[in-house]
Amino acid sequence: MDHTQPPPVPSHPTGAPAQPAPRRWWPWALLACALFVGLIFMGLVGLGGMASAFVPLEGLEQYQEVTQRRGDGAAKIALIKIQGVITSDSLDGSSRGMVERVRDQFALAARDPNVKAVLLHVDSPGGEVMASDEIHRAVQEYRTKTGRPVICSMAGMAASGGYYVAAPCQFIVAHEISITGSIGVIMQTVNVHGLMERVGVRSYTITSGEHKDMLSMFKSPDKIAADGDEKLLRELVDQFYARFKRLVAEGRSQAKEFNRGQKDPGRPLDAKWTELADGRILTGQQAYEHGFVDKLGNLDVAIKEAERLGGITSRATVVRYSAPFDLSSLFRLFVKTPDRRLAVDIGLQLPRLEPGRPYFLSPLIYK
């Protein structure tokens, strides 16, 4: 009698290969997405320094106070950054533009009695005339309202509109190789009239007045000159340019008065400074020699000057104001939008120079 057990019957048809158990991929995909979002969040929180605990602020609740550097007492220095092209548009996908962001931060600094000075950290080639002027005004209004000093620290570039927003500061610190100056205005357009004539294309424009199409790309350059369009545009640019120089002179004069009797009285403007206000760029060293900046140094030097001018006798806490991370802003990165940017030689992506809009921009970044 054979007691051998028969082999087990396979659950799949004879001769068919066994099917592997289905793999559950979605938990791993979910985990990867969570890690990705977490890394971006931590990167944004830590952007610009060793950020510590967030402290909610009353009013303007979308902002949070981030400790950039801990101090020994209650005294604070508020760090406000001007980075990239100065524009009225939003660069982070939110509903708040750059000018509104800067105003909000000055309002928060004014509200806090422990903020003894504001440090404006500028790293910008300039930008729109109106946006630059609004930030300039925000600096002046803060000084007038609070009586507290605003110190500027120039990073790699603080040229044209970047210098425009620095001009009302009571003390300006620049690195020796910072790029600054470039005091001037640019307005440009592209004219394709000659090209259209060459290919046999004509444009027809109906206007309510002879100057309504003064910046039309289809208008003949000869007609632009004959109609007086160029003269009118020159007067407009000259008006902005005169305002730029006047505000530089006023700002440096006020800084000189503020620093009178101080341990470091800063640098007065050179008597022939207007000869350098022809659009040329200056290094921090050259700007210092001619009185456009008060001292040479980096951000740490500027913090020490802010402590001195703010009457802070111990190590101050440096804070900045940051909007909380918005997940919807991350999703906007994956949404295709019309490309309104211009590739420039230094490898940045900048907003396009719109025809007819005046700009305070360094000649290094446009073409």
pLDDT (tens digit per residue) in 216-242: 666 666 666 666 777 888 898 999 999
pLDDT at residue 354 in the model: 67
The one-letter amino acid at 318 = V
220 within some domain: no
Confirm whether 43 is domain-assigned: no
CA 348 to chain CA centroid, Å, is: 13
**Statement: residue 7 has pLDDT above 60:** no
Q: Is 236 a domain residue?
A: no
Which pLDDT value is given to residue 67? 95
**Residues whose CB is less than 8 angstroms from the CB of residue 312 and which lie 6 or more positions away in sequence, other chains included:** 75, 77, 116, 117, 306
Reported as a pLDDT band with limits 50, 70 and 90, residue 356 is: low
Angle at 43 between CA 39 and CA 45, to 5 degrees: 115
First to last CA, the chain: 99
**In this structure, is residue 156 part of a structural domain?**
yes
Side-chain half-sphere CA neighbours of 119 within 13 A:
30
Q: What is the pLDDT of residues 85-94, one digit of tens each?
A: 999 876 555 5
Decide if 24 is inside a domain.
no
Which structure tokens are listed for 289? 């020699």
pLDDT for res 217: 64
Q: Does residue 281 fall inside a structural domain? A: yes
Residue 23 resides in a domain: no
Query: Dihedral (C-alpha) 25, 26, 29, 33: value to the nearest 10 degrees?
Result: -170
Mean pLDDT along residues 32-41: 60
160 included as an active-site residue: yes
| Catalytic residue chosen out of the listed positions 160, 178, 182, 216 | 160
- Asked if residues 123 and 179 have their Cβ atoms less than 8 Å apart, the reply is no
Residue-level length of the chain: 367
The CATH number that applies at residue 112 is: 3.90.226.10
Q: Which pLDDT belongs to residue 347?
A: 40
Instruction: Please write the tens of the pLDDT for every residue from 92-116.
Output: 555 678 999 999 999 999 999 999 9
Q: Which residue has the tokens 């620095």?
A: 166
Q: What is the pLDDT of residues 20-31, one digit of tens each?
A: 555 566 666 667
Residue 86 belongs to some domain of the structure: yes
Contact 252, 292 (CB under 8 A): yes
pLDDT attached to residue 165: 98
- Tell me, what's the pLDDT at 88? 86
To the query of whether residue 81 is one of the catalytic residues in this protein, the response is no
Residues 144-171, mean pLDDT to the nearest whole number: 97
Of the residues 145, 212, 223, 231, which is catalytic? Answer: 212
Give the distance, in angstroms, between the CA of residue 330 and the centroid of all CA atoms in the same chain. 20
Number of domains in the chain: 1
Instruction: Identify whether the C-beta of residue 299 lies closer than 8 Å to the C-beta of residue 153.
Output: yes
280: domain range? Answer: 49-183+246-361
Q: Percent of the chain having pLDDT more than 90?
A: 54
Task: Say if residues 265 and 259 touch (Cβ distance below 8 Å).
Answer: yes
Residue 361: band (very low, low, confident or very high) from pLDDT cuts 50, 70, 90: confident
**Helix, coil or strand: residue 76:** strand
Is residue 171's pLDDT more than 80?
yes
